[in-house]
Amino acid sequence: MDDDPVSLNNCRILIVDDKAENLELLTNFLEPEGYEVAFATSGKEAINIATIFLPHLILLDVMMPGIDGFETCRRLKSLGKVKEVPVIFVTGKSELSDIVEAFSVGAVDYVTKPIRQEELLARVSTHLQLQALINLRDELISTLRDKTLELEKLSKLKEQQLETSQHFSHIGELVGELTHELGTPLSVVRTAVSHLNEKQQELAQQLQKQTLAKHDLQTFIDNTAQSCEIVLSSMDNVMHLIDSFKNIVVGEFSGTISQCNLHDYLHNIQYVLTPKLKRTPHTVSINCPQTLHIVSDTGALSQVLINLINNALIHAFEEQTAGTIDIHVEHQDGNIALNIKDNGKGIECEKASKVFDKYYTTRVGTGGSGLGLYIVKKLVETRLNGSIALSSEPGEGTVFNIVLPQELRN
């Protein structure tokens, strides 16, 4: 069709009639209107020409030698390339049964001879316009369908990106806090070492001038011992923090199943959170049997616990009150039950039923994406093969109960 979908200029019309005078008459009606015309004098010829000429409309006689107009129409309607082209019968046959047959083989209209020019032109232009509108509608539907699919794909991708970034957002926060926290012990080490360096230079000068007294040497030895103690304990802090961090973060990225001592693992989590906790009045306590082991995706477990602790720190406590977050762990018939309990303001019943929903947050516009607990539930159920439930009493606090298999199998 043309660029302008409803313009009839240059529309191609195929006229099928075995009589030359009819072809001539119709051509004389149509060409002055700007239509491009082609002829066929039999049904078979019409089918051949139609597949090459690809008309926008066909005017078809009924009575012809060889296959008649009805059969020609039937065959045209079974050809992929031209089956949508509107066919108007132009014929001397005007019995009701002929008209019925014409519509039943797929014609859109029926004009009886003798042909009246105005009537014919009106019918031709109406059907060309109708067909152009039908084509336009189909194009629009298909464009709309493509666009909807594209949009669906795009929004799925965006959602995945959002989930992934939310998955690891706490790691960015931890890295920031870790680097900040390392600053203190490292500057203590630097002060102690430069103090020692100064004292060592003084000692060297005294030695050179032969003014070094036994008492000076003793003082230097005492200073050195003290400085070494400070340096070692600061470096221990640094190593501990880095080890705990490595332990937690590497697991979160690798997503592998490993065995660990749950007691030590929870203390590692608590340790990496100390820089953050120090800036709040709140405390985290752990109550876990010392020898309890778990075989699990420990990376997923730390994501879950850090999310729950962060949530308690953000949502549970009113300003200035010192809250507590208790993590209680026990062994229960081959499972591990973890309770993460805060003594904050709690969650009202109707909100509690929504907190695991995707995008549910009471912090709209202040940084909450509402994906935290949605991801927590997904990790517990799909990666840790466990379950999570919540019980809360407004004014009393909130408890998240997690049950996990002690040994997770692949």
Ligand X SMILES: Nc1ncnc2c1ncn2[C@@H]1O[C@H](COP(=O)(O)OP(=O)(O)OP(=O)(O)O)[C@@H](O)[C@H]1O
Write down the least CB distance from residue 274 to ligand X, Å: 20
Residue 369 within binding range of ligand X, rule CB under 6 A: yes
> Applying CB under 6 A, which part among 32-40, 100-108, 118-126, 341-349 lies near ligand X?
341-349
User: CB under 5 to 8 A by kind: which of Mg ion, ligand X, none does 43 bind?
Assistant: none
379 lines the binding site for ligand X (CB under 6 A) = no
* Contact flag: residue 347 with ligand X (CB under 6 A): yes
Assess contact for 286 and 271: CB atoms under 8 A.
no
Contact by Cβ (8 Å): 238, 186: yes
Site string for ligand X, 148-187 (x = CB under 6 A): ------------------x---------------------
Q: For the chain, first and last CA: distance in Å?
A: 59
Smallest distance from the beta carbon of 311 to Mg ion, in angstroms? 4
Q: How many CB atoms lie within 10 A of CB 222?
A: 10
Residue 342 near ligand X by CB under 6 A: yes
Q: Bridge-partner residues for 399, per DSSP?
A: 341, 391
| Binding piece for ligand X, criterion CB under 6 A, among 2-10, 152-160, 249-257, 362-370 | 362-370
- Binding partner of residue 398 among ligand X, Mg ion, none, CB cut-off 5 to 8 Å per kind: ligand X
Kindly state the smallest distance separating residue 368's Cβ from Mg ion, in Å. 6
Q: Which of 73, 185, 361, 404 touches ligand X (CB under 6 A)? A: 361
**Candidate list 230, 360, 391, 406; residue touching ligand X; CB under 6 A:** 360
Paired tokens of 132? 């152009």
Stretch binding ligand X (CB under 6 A), from 33-41, 87-95, 249-257, 340-348: 340-348
Binding interface with Mg ion (CB under 5 A): 311, 372
Q: Which of residues 288-327 bind ligand X (CB under 6 A)?
A: 311-312, 314-316
Which H/E stretch holds residue 389?
Answer: strand 387-393
Q: What angle do CA 189, 193, 198 make, to 5 degrees?
A: 150
Burial class (CB in 10 A: 0-12, 13-18, 19+), 32: exposed
Given 344, 378, 383, 408, the residue binding ligand X (CB under 6 A): 344
- 168, interface contact from Mg ion, ligand X, none, CB < 5-8 Å by kind: none
Work out the number of other CB atoms within 10 angstroms of the CB of residue 105.
18
Q: Which of 107, 343, 398, 408 binds ligand X (CB under 6 A)?
A: 398
Give the Cα-Cα-Cα angle 250, 253, 259 (nearest 5 degrees). 60
Give the C-alpha separation, 95 to 147, whole Å: 49
| Residue (of 53, 126, 52, 114) closest to 88 by Cα position | 126
Q: CB-based burial of residue 55 (10 Å sphere; 0-12 exposed, 13-18 middle, 19+ buried)?
A: buried
How far apart CA 349 and CA 368 sit, in angstroms, is 20
Q: Which residues bind ligand X (CB under 6 A)?
A: 166, 311-312, 314-316, 342, 344, 347, 355, 360-363, 368-374, 398
